[in-house]
Amino acid sequence: MELMNKDLLTLKINMNKDLISYKQDPALVAAINKLYSRNDAMNVPSLLPERKLDFDEVQRLLKPAVVNKVDSKPITVQKGNENKAVIIKKIENILKNIDNSAERGVSPKLVIRNQRLWSNCIYDLDRVTLKSMNSAKTTKLVYSNNEDKTRFNMIVFVLTKIHELLSKNITVTRRELFYQNVSRFVSQTKLDTAVRDACCLLETPPWSLGVVATAKGLIAGPIKIYNSDGSILDCNVAGGTLIPQDIVGITKFETTAKYILLVEKDAIFQKLLDEGALIRLAPVIILTGKGYPDVCTRQLLYRLVCELRLQALALVDADPHGYEIYLTYKYGSLAQSHLSDSLACTSLLLLGASYQDLMTLVPTPARLTLTAIDRRKLTALINRPYLNTPIGGPIKEDLRRMLERGLKAELEAVVPYSVAMSDSYIPSKIIAADFLG
């Protein structure tokens, strides 16, 4: 056992020596510098739509990125307090209207934009955006209708809870809110739906309502995150660190990184760190949402790209789920279409693994056959309206070819050898600018 420990220690020392003496390929350095100088990492669509834009849409397009938010903190606090007062007033008006209807003997009702229809969204600003109340198809919840009553009551309860949170200036995670009211909601999904409905009614993101998502993502690299409570999160640690829950509470980023590598899975994230990717691919920030991304990870990626002017590259499996995860980061999701202005990272590029990687790099025995579920998901992805664009076209073609051949593969099959992902696969893709999106 002692001999094994000595051998392991020797191996670690040798690896550290290799990393310290490691010298990057000049071609990779030049390619990273080219990424850093890109001007399209600002989430502004290259082509404006032909239709007339709303005032809010124009404001969002013209919104400058804030590199240092510490200086603007007093203004942010004041504006936040004003927003809270507006939201509280909105809630009181909604609840008052419900009471007035009941007093008049009229069954109370709530009208909400339907977030289950792709036709209820617009896509011409390079993201999935829920239509305004005037043009969107709506769902009417009537209290006297037995099918609507439970959902109606849940929304009213969430509105009341939000009023309390904002009045007391406190926050709660969705998970905490669920466990405080298990008998009322029964499942986390029902609570999430009620929070989403409340956000739609108030036209406000959940993080402005005192209800925050539980963070599950990890971040690693040469970056420090400054929070409003005075704490500083240094992400340059072994194994990475959990991203903050309160992304809105981040006041400033400090980094020497020149790009962001977004990784689908925790296993690949840890593999890259073990291979010394922070040195071999430096200077880079590596981020993962550990599978299908949570709101916190998407929100953090959006802020990093916008405020630091960094290009983000996505590394996902060459399968329907990997592509869907990439598309969620880039365009947003149907369920969160009302939040896409703060979540969709429209400049995100797909580094790999592409269909071409699957067919050229994966050995035949390691290629997997698509299941019936995979085929249905691919068909649904191909029919997504936002892929009917010059940018989305190549991605759509990849999905079509994958469906035709009936094959898929995981990243581990694309690059099965130790250190090859950091030393060969990723550098060659960056040098060749072999991206989609």
Catalytic residue from among 36, 179, 323, 417: 179
Residue 369 main-chain phi, psi, to 5 deg: -85, 135
Question: 320-331 and 393-405 are packed helices; what angle lies between their axes, rounded to 10 degrees?
Answer: 170
Is 179 labeled as catalytic in the residue annotation? Answer: yes
Mean pLDDT estimate for the chain: 84
Tokens 């079509």, residue located: 400
CB 409 within 8 A of CB 354: no
**Residue count (the chain):** 437
Of 96-105, 107-116, 157-166, 319-328, which range is least confident? 107-116
Q: How far is CA 250 from the centre of its chain?
A: 16
List, edge to edge, every strand of the sheet that includes 311-315. Answer: 241-242, 218-220, 284-288, 259-263, 311-315, 349-352
pLDDT tens column, 273-291: 999 999 999 999 999 999 9
Nearest of 361, 425, 436 to residue 396 by alpha carbon: 436
Give dist(CA 208, CA 206) in Å, integer.
Answer: 5
How high is the pLDDT of residue 124? Answer: 61
**Which strand (E) or helix (H) includes residue 232?**
strand 232-234
Segment 48-72 shows an average pLDDT of: 46
pLDDT tens column, 288-308: 999 999 999 999 999 999 999
78 band by pLDDT with thresholds 50, 70 and 90: very low
Residue 400 tokens read as 């079509």
Structure-model confidence comparison of residues 230 and 334, the more confident one = 230
What's the DSSP call for residue 362?
S
How high is the pLDDT of residue 214? Answer: 80
Is the pLDDT score of 223 beyond 90?
Answer: yes
Full-model pTM? 0.81
Give dist(CA 37, CA 138) in Å, integer.
Answer: 44
87 band by pLDDT with thresholds 50, 70 and 90: very high
Residue 414 tokens read as 């694309």
How high is the pLDDT of residue 3? Answer: 40
pLDDT tens column, 347-382: 999 998 999 999 999 999 999 999 999 999 999 999
64 band by pLDDT with thresholds 50, 70 and 90: very low
Q: Which residues pair with 432 in a beta bridge?
A: none
How high is the pLDDT of residue 12? Answer: 41
Sorted by sequence, the CB contacts under 8 Å of residue 175 that are 6+ apart come out as: 188, 214
Segment 108-137 shows an average pLDDT of: 79
How high is the pLDDT of residue 239? Answer: 87
Q: Name residue 245's amino acid.
A: Q
Structure-model confidence comparison of residues 65 and 246, the more confident one = 246
Tokens 């008049």, residue located: 104
Nearest of 129, 126, 43 to residue 347 by alpha carbon: 43
128 band by pLDDT with thresholds 50, 70 and 90: confident
